[in-house]
Structure 1
Amino acid sequence: MTHLVPVGRALLSVSDKTGLLDLARALAGMGVELISTGGTAQALRTAGLAVRDVAEVTGFPEMMDGRVKTLHPNVHGGLLALRDDDEHLVAMAVHGIEPIDLLVVNLYPFEAAVARGASYDDCVENIDIGGPAMIRAAAKNHRFVNVVTDIADYAPLLAEMKAHKGATSHAFRQRLALTAYSRTAAYDAAVSGWMAEALAEPAPRRRAFAGQLASPLRYGENPHQRAAFYTDGTWRPGVATARQWQGKELSYNNINDTDAAFELVAEFDPLQGPACVIVKHANPCGVARGATLAEAYARAFDCDRTSAFGGIIALNQPLDAATAEKIVEIFTEVVIAPGADEGARAVFATKKNLRLLTTMGLPNPVARGLAFKQVAGGFLVQDRDAGHVTAADLRVVTKRAPTDAELADLMFAWTVAKHVKSNAIVYVKDGATVGVGAGQMSRVDSTRIAARKAEDMAMALGLPAPLTQGAVVASDAFFPFADGLITAAEAGATAIIQPGGSVRDDEVIAAADAAGLAMVFTGQRHFRH
């Protein structure tokens, strides 16, 4: 259905005035009458454009600090009236209501107020009322009315009107209405989410999430799945806010894995030295510190060279040329770092398919936030896992306490285990992972797999023994039986870090003592499903 409708009258009321004057001049040039409010009207007049105040249309002045200006039948009647309904037309004539064919509104900057840490009262003042009411009215009546809520739609609107001699098509108005309802839904979600946080309400009766399209994706996890990438407006440094310097567009799996890698590497303070994380299928296959980034990468790579092929690399410091030279020796999908110098970018420029992302910072690993997961008929919501323990939080439960070197590796291993899919087992030696077991149904299987991978790497590297000899082990949850711990001891582990809390803790502690292991409990677990 084409259903062309000419645009004769427009109401413009915008908080963000970017592009406003060019739009208004173009509309006026097509003979469109302009109606406006407050600061928008003033900006138009200053630019020499003829504009009617909304107060003239309503017969009421703006009042209550601008809280009341468009909430009036002359505005909403002009937006909601059906142009092909005789009763509506009679009502308009009787009450002097003029049709409004185009509404251009962007809302008070509520999200920006929250983002800058504004006070509770300031945030409340930035909740728009009249704007969403008009947007919903115009969107409902999209058979006749155009509603523009996004500056990105100014140019398409003008192109549509030029193509149809000042009119717009029904299909175009439908797309504008979709964008409009999505905008008000996102706005309300931002307000309700902020209020739940402000009131420390962990489980509000209704929960809404919203996002803004960052990019459509070629497909999802598999080619038969449609997908798109959305940002949530929180401005957390990471894949959503990164600059991409080169390479193909990111895929669904690239984005997921890159996020996993960068969130883990952010756990390692760059002021305490370089760190590198290599991720494959959302699990780390190598994590290490080093004296330089190049050394950290090489040590992470040596944990599991096979899995590292085609993986994602995250760094906690800006990428340099020396590290870039090592990285390009094998195929890598994505590299993400806080920055990258010219030398590094020049090295990567020879690998056109390698994506390089820079973020200008690291996400705060202990910042609060929400995580959610869809299930059939609903979704689960929880705080993101910002759990953190220090050495002072650990409880030694064995006869032997860990040495200082073991303790440092235990803390490193615990940090990595937090980001490994459960059941998670992580062997660490001298600030580098040497075996990772992830996602198994049995914890003892994860322990065995991690040890076996270390054996394979020892053979590949020509080492006399697996690096699990003399390593420490982290388990993301308690050992329900002693068998997992015994398997770790057989692989050469000397110390264990785990949450504790099993009904068989005494049995597990006894097994550790019998093997001469040091073991500490954190009192905190890190399931990651």
Structure 2
Amino acid sequence: MNTNRPIRRALVSVYDKDGIEVLAEAFKRQGTEVVSTGSTARRLGELGVKVTEVEKVTGFPESLGGRVKTLDPHIHAGILADMTNPDQAKELKRLGIKPFDMVVVNLYPFADTVRSGAGESDVIEKIDIGGPSMIRAAAKNSASVAVITDPEDYQLAAQRVDSGEGFTLDERRCLAAKAFARTASYDATITEWTSKHWAKPGTINVPPVNADESNDATNAAKTTAPADNPQFPPTFTRTWERAHTLRYGENPHQQACLYADGLDRDGFAHAEQLNGKPMSYNNYVDADAAWRAVWDFAPQIAVAVCKHNNPCGLAIGETVAEAHLKAHACDPMSAYGGVIAANSTVTLEMAQNVRPIFTEVIVAPDYEPEALELLKTKKKNLRILRVANRPHTRTQFRQIDGGVLVQSIDRIDAEGDDSANWQLVSGDPADRATLKDLAFAWRAIRCVKSNAILLAHDQATVGIGMGQVNRVDSCHLAVERANTLADGENRAKGSVAASDAFFPFADGAEALIDAGVKAIVQPGGSIRDQEVIDAAQTHGTTMYLTHTRHFFH
């Protein structure tokens, strides 16, 4: 059965008029009846199209500063009438309303306006009402109407106007699905903005939890994620825009894309690439991990070297070059093919030190001109990223089969992250230098995959044990790496250690103490805490409890 519907009458209302010329030429060639609004009508008229303005159809002028133009039965009945239904076709004729065969609409630039830093009143004016209404009406009535919301489809639409055949039903449905996705994304972007800017006032109260509810797990969930917490709404509505199609995902047989937050203009996903090959999926994962890690130490200057989403070196320095040398020294072998992140402008001195090291990505807030020139000239494949802003994402997502887990981002901002709140449970209080190293190690452990053990000295990592299925193995790994990756130097002796979670047995702490670690910081909370503390006390080792954990799975 032929389901094509010729395009004899079209409604066109577009904010972005780029590319509309191709449709205008087709309308002129075929004598298509075109109804249009305001500036779109003027632009089509300039292109030689005979246009009927909307107010001639509605009998009502555009009003309220353009807020009301197409919200009228003479427009929406013409869009919504299912012309395959004889009764609706007769009713439309009785009402004296002509049907539309195609609707071409794009929307006010809400996200662009937000990104521009515009004030609230200007942002509100860019919340489109008539546009989404026309799009949804046309998409609902795909039995009769073709809806065009993407300028990339103008050429196709022009061809179908010229052919006189229009679109098939399957094609109209495809265009309708695309249109519904467009309005859903648009509304999700508005929802994201309003949730951040229009907080729930205290005058709107949440009904108390029913006293009969006795399920502890349920009540615990309500305590940690209450119904009125804007970070965890009953329905999570967010949207991201496809920014880049990547060569492949984690492995060559996987497909991948980067999607960016439409309201964000300076986050890591919007990094400016100054040099090198296109970023890969793994490049993005590793570079984002390194970028987050260095900003845990701001305002101190920090550099991280990451590989496979784990740091192989992290350090603080008086200069960015010093921080990089200290970070690289932790594990020079693993730094090969790694990612470097700095939270300070990359200097020529640092660039000179990076030059002989094979590096996949370097990311920083900026680069000295001489440093950038050197890196570009000597390392043509090095991906050089400039990111305008420090990490500011508040919410983290992880998809599981059939759903998604949502949590607030782990930051170094809990009460137990302040060394002034730590509990000394063994040994003498740390001197100033040792306490600085312990505080550094505790901040650094946040970005290491669990189970995580980190050894540090002089504000730099010297050994990292990560991603093991038991903590004692991570302890042995951290010690081994500290003592085998620096030309035989025993770097574990005299270092400090941090553990991202409690020691379930004393054996892990004993492995560190036996290696010469002089002080340990750990959360505590094990049923065998006292055994661990006793082991430290036996050797006179300083141990602090933070009562805060930093698992990173």
- Normalised TM-score (structure 2): 0.82
Matches within 5 A, 1:206-355: 206-235=235-264, 237-269=266-298, 271-273=299-301, 275-349=302-376, 350-355=378-383
Alpha-carbon distance, 1:214 to partner: 0.7
Alpha-carbon separation, structure 1, partners of 2:385 and 2:109: 32
Do 2:26 and 2:158's aligned partners in 1 also have CA atoms closer than 8 Å?
Answer: no
Letter in 2 for 1:515: H
Q: Is the 8 A contact 2:304 2:315 kept in 1?
A: yes
Name the structure 1 match of 2:422.
Answer: 394
- C-alpha distance in 2 between matches for 1:3 and 1:320: 65
Taking a change above 3 Å as real, the CA distance of residues 160 and 49 of structure 1, as seen in their structure-2 partners, is closer
In structure 2, what is the Cα distance between the partners aligned to 1:498 and 1:236? 38
Matches of 2:426 and 2:263, distance apart in 1: 44
Residue 24 (structure 1) shift: 7.6
Question: Which residue is 2:187 aligned to?
Answer: 188
1:377-526 maps to which residues of 2 (within 5 A)?
Answer: 377-388=402-413, 389-458=417-486, 462-463=487-488, 465-526=489-550
Contact 2:231 2:395 in 1 (8 A): no
Distance 2:441 2:484 in 1: 20
Which is worse superposed, 103-112 or 488-497? Answer: 103-112
**Is residue 151 of structure 2 the alignment partner of residue 157 of structure 1?**
no
SS in 2 for 1:312: strand
Deviates more, 1:447-456 or 1:338-347: 338-347
Q: Mark the CA change 1:148 to 1:385 in structure 2 (over 3 Å): closer, same or farther.
A: farther
Could you list the per-position Cα deviations for residues 283-315 of structure 1 after superposition, in whole angstroms to 9, with x for gaps in the alignment? 111111223333322221111122211111111
CA–CA distance in structure 2, aligned partners of residues 103 and 525 of structure 1: 54
Per-residue displacement from partner, 1:341-363 (whole Å, max 9, x unpaired)? Answer: 33333333343322111113322
Q: What letter corresponds to residue 400 of structure 1 in structure 2? A: D
Work out whether residues 28 and 49 of structure 2, in 8 Å CA contact, stay in contact via their aligned partners in 1: no
- Aligned mates of 1:172, 1:354 — CA distance in 2: 44
| Offset of residue 435 of structure 1 | 0.9
- Deviations along 1:359-414, whole A, 9 cap, x unmatched? 133224xxx62111111221111111134233333333334111111121122112
Q: Counterpart of 1:240 in 2: which secondary structure?
A: helix
Distance 1:41 1:511, change over 3 A: farther
2:387 aligned with 1:362: no
Q: Secondary structure at the match of 2:268?
A: coil
Deviations 1:133-163 (A, max 9, x none): 22222234446544343xxx43541365158
Alpha-carbon distance between aligned partners in 2 of 1:360 and 1:453, rounded to the nearest angstrom: 35
Look up the equivalent residue of 2:497 and give its one-letter code: V
Cα deviation for residue 240 of structure 1 reads 0.8
Q: Which amino acid aligns with 1:133?
A: S
C-alpha change, 1:505 and 1:202, in structure 2 (3 Å) is: same
Q: Do the aligned residues in 1 keep the contact of 2:84 with 2:143 (CA within 8 Å)?
A: no
Match of 2:401 in 1: 376
Quote the Cα distance in structure 1 between the aligned partners of 2:496 and 2:444: 12
Question: What is the letter of the counterpart of residue 543 of structure 2?
Answer: M
- Pair 1:189–1:472, CA change in 2 (3 A): same
Letter in 2 for 1:518: T
Query: Which amino acid in the other structure matches residue 186 of structure 1?
Result: S
Tell me how far 1:108 sits from its aligned partner.
5.9
Tell me whether 1:137 sits opposite 2:137 in the alignment: yes
| Number of matched pairs | 515
Q: Which secondary structure state, in structure 2, belongs to the residue aligned with residue 480 of structure 1? A: coil
Q: Deviations over 1:430-468 (max 9, x none)?
A: 01111111111111111111111112113xxx34x3222
Structure 1 counterpart of 2:430, which letter?
Answer: P
Offset from partner CA, 1:253-298 (integer Å, 9 cap, x none): 11111111111112232x533x211111111111112233333222
Q: Residue 397 of structure 1 aligns to a residue in which SS?
A: strand
Distance in 2 (alpha carbons) for counterparts of 1:439 and 1:237: 31
Q: Given that residues 111 and 262 in structure 2 are in contact (C-alpha distance below 8 angstroms), is that contact kept between their aligned partners in structure 1?
A: no
- Which runs of 5 or more structure 2 residues have no equivalent in the other structure? 201-228
**One-letter amino acid matched to 1:54:** V
The equivalent of 2:223 in structure 1 is: none
C-alpha separation in 2, matches of 1:397 and 1:93: 87
Q: Which runs of 5+ in 1 are unaligned?
A: none
In 2 relative to 1, CA 259–26 (structure 1 residues): closer, same or farther, beyond 3 Å? farther
| Pair 1:76 & 2:76 matched | yes
Change (3 A) 1:113 1:348: closer
Which moves more between the two structures, 212-221 or 325-334?
A: 325-334
Cα distance, 1:104 vs. partner?
Answer: 1.4
- Which piece of structure 1 moves more, 377-386 or 155-164? 155-164
Report deviation, 1:477. 1.5
Identity of aligned residues (%): 42
1:338 counterpart letter in structure 2: P
Q: What does residue range 61-100 of structure 1 map to in structure 2 within 5 Å?
A: 61-62=61-62, 68-100=68-100
